[in-house]
Structure 1
Amino acid sequence: ILAWLKTPNEVFVQGYIDLGHGVPSTVIHARSGLSQSTVSAHVATLVEAGLLVQTRVGQWILLSRNEEVIRAFARQISLHL
């Protein structure tokens, strides 16, 4: 999911609606081929970790990467592992 959201215009060619705040969760679910509950659990974990940001726009739940947190996480991994 994090890799897909890095370049959403390339990954989500069909069915992607650019609402300016991220990718609709339904589009991520459709691409994954997994059950909605599985995708929701993964997304919830990434949101809780701060790696994803959820934004509600009308009926849509949009997901985007939290680049600052991802950079800090990658820095910590490279320093400590």
Structure 2
Amino acid sequence: MRFPPTVFKALGHPTRLAILGWLKDPGSFPPQDRPAEEVGVCLKHIQARAEVSQSTASQFMATLQRADLVTCTRIGQWSHYQRDEDEIARVSALIGTSL
């Protein structure tokens, strides 16, 4: 099984790896208008937890999305992110560790 280099690039930054860990428990983020378990976590909450600018948070999430590790749902002007558990399971099996 081969994965594109984008997967390993995405996993190669400690903050992106931390974000994937945080998204395991979307309920740990502040409440949103719609439950994070259903629509994902709003970028503004990810940004706040990561303590980075909005543009940096957007770049982190775009990298994770290009690697198919997260999916994005747009609700109005906001982007909400969820882990792609199927893809993460495939990557985890390949590298021999859980993400």
TM-score, normalization by structure 1: 0.83
Please give the per-residue CA displacement for 1:13-47, whole angstroms capped at 9, x wherever unaligned.
Answer: x3x31252101111111111112222111111100
CA deviation after TM superposition for structure 1 residue 60, in Å:
2.0
AA in 2 matched with 1:8: P
Aligned-partner Cα distance in 2 for 1:40–1:57? 15
SS in structure 1 of the partner of residue 39 of structure 2:
coil
Ranges in structure 2 where 5+ consecutive residues have no aligned partner: 1-18
Partner of 1:67: 85
Q: Percent identity?
A: 41
Candidates 34, 42, 49, aligned match of 2:60: 42
What number of residue pairs does the alignment pair up? 75
Partner of 1:8: 26
SS in structure 2 of the partner of residue 6 of structure 1:
coil
1:76 and 2:81 are equivalent in the alignment: no
Aligned-partner Cα distance in 1 for 2:94–2:49? 30
Q: Which moved more, 1:60-69 or 1:27-36?
A: 27-36
Aligned-partner Cα distance in 2 for 1:65–1:6? 7
Ranges in structure 1 where 5+ consecutive residues have no aligned partner: none
Please, what is the CA RMSD of the aligned residues?
1.3
Aligned-partner Cα distance in 1 for 2:55–2:63? 12
